[in-house]
Amino acid sequence: MTSPLVRPPIILASRSPRRLELLVEAGYPVRVVYPAESAEDGALPGEEPFEMVARLAYQKAADVATRVPSGLIVGCDTVVECGGQILGKPDDENHARQILKELRGRRHRVLSGLCLWEKARRVAPLTRVAETLLEMDRLSDEQIEEYLASGKWEGKAGAFGYQDRLGWVRILEGSESNVVGLPMELLEEMILEVQGGRMK
């Protein structure tokens, strides 16, 4: 029988308002500590997308761990991958346009690395990766321009926000919260693992 989840206070090592919203909505007490920008550097040569998000989630948690005395730190990093190409957050509207044209009519994956670092305990941090498969409609140039004009693409991996209920992106397999920015199901599994280890 699985132990019930006790929602512990979380130190969120992220600048994402969507991750904070997801945690608060789920009933977690949350304190946000921004990781250093150097902890959020992009891909290394030859690095696979799942390796990159796991590394960046770990780096964010590790950076914040140097600045807090105790607590359960959660680091997360999310990218969109399509045809082997990593599509992060767009730099500007032009870049967002390129990303959406790359994704339209195609299947793609949202990958999130998640790291749990319990500072007070001398145990290795847990790091896992969640994957969600999606498909985007074959958008017309006009639809893309209309979405770009809304500004909703800003700050979002893959240049779109699934939480905006766009109607032209569908989840085929995996977690919806992962697409929004934090895989809540995986987080709960990892917290149970940490809590179980504490009780041994």
Query: Which residue numbers are catalytic?
Result: 77
Type of residue numbered 198: R
Alpha-carbon distance of 42 to 47, in angstroms, equals 10
Phi, psi at residue 171, to the nearest 5°? -85, 125
Q: Within 13 Å, how many C-alpha atoms sit on residue 20's CB side?
A: 12
Alpha-carbon distance of 144 to 129, in angstroms, equals 30
CB 155 within 8 A of CB 99: no
